[in-house]
Chain A
Amino acid sequence: MRDVWIAAAAMTRFGRRSEKLEDLIADAALEALREADCQPDALVVTAMAPEEFVGEGNFASHTGTYLGLSHVPAIRVETATSSGAAALYVGFALIASGFHQTVLVVGGEKMTHVSTPRVSEIISRVIDPHERSYGATMPALAAIVARAALAKGLITETDMARIAVKNHGNGARNPYAHFQRPVTLEQVMSSRMIADPLRLQHCCPISDGAAAVLLTSDPTGLKLAGMGQGSDYLAVRYRSSLTAFRATQDAAKAAYKMAGFGPERVEVAEIHDAFTPFEILALEDTGLFSPGKAAKAAQNGELTLEGRLPVNPSGGLKARGHALAATGLAQVVELAWQLTGRAVGRQVKARVGLAHSIGGMATNNWVTLVEQVA
């Protein structure tokens, strides 16, 4: 298997964008191509639900033609909310296998022009049909997980709020973030209830945006050191634990194995905090903290930009935003910028970064390790 390197990484600002999806994708893709000054010999495209959100199908070819890349193979990848990470995995495999030399992986989502109930309904289709038939939405399932974690003493309501405060603080320093303003603990804990115990400020926003990562077989110094995937039952009710995600645990193990190092070398992490309690649970599922230690680390300030392990320097899904298929790629863009000293305003000192992406209610998760080796 050949080593795979990041040649360029780019993204649009996430948020409520007026541009059409194709132009958000083009902005990210062309910036990545300009940065690396080269052309790809394959294109991996991801959008979670362009048929529903923007009414476009055959989306790989649609994107290939829009980008002036209709002469190379174009493949669309979709694994619900982890689609960006899954697309990166396919790009990785295309190069590692020797099939291709330079692969452009690009993803985007455009949702804010659609009404919120309609967006929620489209996103809810990632949930098991029996559970959905009872009105279970993503916030509902996340609330069921959070309630179980609270009852077990893994987290407190203050811990859940503290993550939102930290991530908004980071987002306020990131010009690419959807929300660039801090929030206080009081604001989070008094925001309106969405799905008890989750309040509005525990939940990520609906965002538009796009991100692109250009992969190459030529060493660039920025290595895609490891990628791992983990699966779980679509049905939350089939799982033996509500509070530990097997899909994250398996993805992390596979990524560390491929990289040849463990969590002790990770110095910055981008975690899928679609709901703030998930950040704490994921830090333990990825092995970055021992079971029962992540909430304490958050309390002690260890996850801040100045802390022992900065988590979500971008602001995370909570503040950088969650543009579905763009998110898993935006996490890797943030790591690329952090590891090469280009994360202006929120720079941390790190040589190894970890990105964690959740698909659906943790049915198809990914962990990616990026290493600065030059």
Chain B
Amino acid sequence: METIGASRCPDCGLVVAPPVRICPRHPVEMTPVQVSAYGSVLSYTTLMVAPEGFKPPLHIAVVELPGGARIFCHGKETRALRIGRRVAI
């Protein structure tokens, strides 16, 4: 199964991706972990006005991975996308 790098807080258990040094909830150093790269879509948009370095239409989604980490990713299109849909990032 494909995985991506993430961080887990040894105190509160929060998992975030991509990895960070310190837990966003409190000043505690995080532990590196791997999490599944398959998750469900929380929300998404298609940008018709893209910032410098990107070409519209730009599809951006927020995906929640097993363990609770959420990550931004690009999609080929969003026409068939629905909130809650399972995707590979």
A183 within 8 A of B: no
From B16, B48, B72, contact of A131 by CB (8 A): B72
Closest B residue to A151 by CB, please name it: B83
Chain A residues with Cβ below 8 Å from B62 are 144, 236-237, 242
| With known contacts A134-B60, A135-B58, A135-B60, A195–B49 Cβ distance under 8 A | yes
Cross-interface CB contact of A237 among B54, B72, B78, cutoff 8 Å: B72
Asked whether A192 lies within 8 Å of B48 as measured between CB atoms, the reply is yes
Q: Which one of A104-112, A116-124, A347-355, A364-372 is at the B interface?
A: A116-124
Evaluate contact between A235 and B24: CB separation under 8 angstroms: yes
Residues of B within 8 A of A233 (CB): 24
**A140 touching B24, Cβ below 8 Å:** no
Enumerate chain B residues within 8 angstroms of A117, measured Cβ to Cβ. Answer: 51-52
B41-71 near A? 1/0 per residue, CB < 8 Å: 0111111111111100010101000000111
Number of residue pairs A-B, CB distance < 8 angstroms: 83
A121, A124, A137, A139 interface centre (most CB from chain B within 10 Å): A137
Is the CB–CB distance between A148 and B47 below 8 Å? no
Q: What is the bound-complex CA distance between A367 and B52, given in angstroms?
A: 34
Map CB proximity to B onto A185-226 as digits: 1 under 8 Å, 0 otherwise: 000000011111110000000000000000000000000000
Q: Is A238 an interface residue (CB 8 A)?
A: yes
Report A-chain residues with C-beta under 8 Å of the C-beta of B21. Answer: none
A147 pairs with B83, CB closer than 8 A: yes
- With A140-B45, A148-B83, A242-B42 known as contacts, the answer to whether A121 contacts B52 (CB < 8 A) is yes
Contact call A134/B51, Cβ cutoff below 8 A: no
State which of B43, B48, B69, B73 has its C-beta within 8 Å of the C-beta of A147: B43
A interface SS class:
helix
- Given known pairs A135-B58, A144-B60, the reply for A193 and B73 (CB within 8 Å) is no
Known: A148-B83, A236-B62. A137 touches B43 (CB 8 A): no
Interface of B (DSSP majority class): strand
B43–A242 contact, CB under 8 A?
A: yes
Which bucket holds chain A's interface residue count?
A: 20 to 34
Q: Looking at the assembled complex, report how far the CB atom of B68 sits from the nearest CB atom of chain A, in whole angstroms.
A: 9
* B13 within 8 A of partner (CB): no
Residues in B with CB closer than 8 Å to A136 are: 60, 72
Please report the C-alpha to C-alpha distance between residue A137 and residue B49 in the assembled complex, in whole angstroms.
Answer: 9
When the two chains form their complex, are residues B51 and A120 in contact, meaning their CB atoms are under 8 A apart? yes
Partner of B43, one of A120, A139, A148, A238: A148
Residue B18 CB within 8 A of the other chain: yes
Q: Which residue of A lies closest to B55 (CB)?
A: A135
Contact A195 to B46, CB < 8 A, known contacts A130-B72, A134-B72: yes
Of A134, A137, A144, the contact of B73 (CB 8 Å cutoff): A134
Is there contact, CB below 8 Å, between B46 and A196? yes
Q: List 25 A-B contacts (CB under 8 A).
A: A117-B51, A117-B52, A120-B49, A124-B51, A134-B72, A135-B58, A135-B74, A137-B51, A139-B49, A140-B47, A143-B45, A143-B47, A144-B43, A144-B62, A145-B43, A193-B46, A194-B49, A195-B45, A196-B46, A196-B78, A233-B24, A235-B16, A235-B24, A242-B42, A242-B62
Task: Name the 5 nearest CB pairs between A and B, nearest first.
Answer: A143-B45, A237-B70, A135-B54, A148-B43, A196-B46
Which residues of A does B touch, CB under 8 Å?
Answer: 117, 120-121, 124, 130-131, 134-137, 139-140, 143-145, 147-148, 151, 192-198, 233, 235-238, 242
User: A144-B62, A148-B42, A242-B42 given. 13 additional CB < 8 A pairs?
Assistant: A134-B74, A135-B58, A144-B45, A148-B43, A148-B83, A193-B48, A194-B48, A194-B49, A195-B49, A196-B45, A196-B47, A236-B62, A237-B69
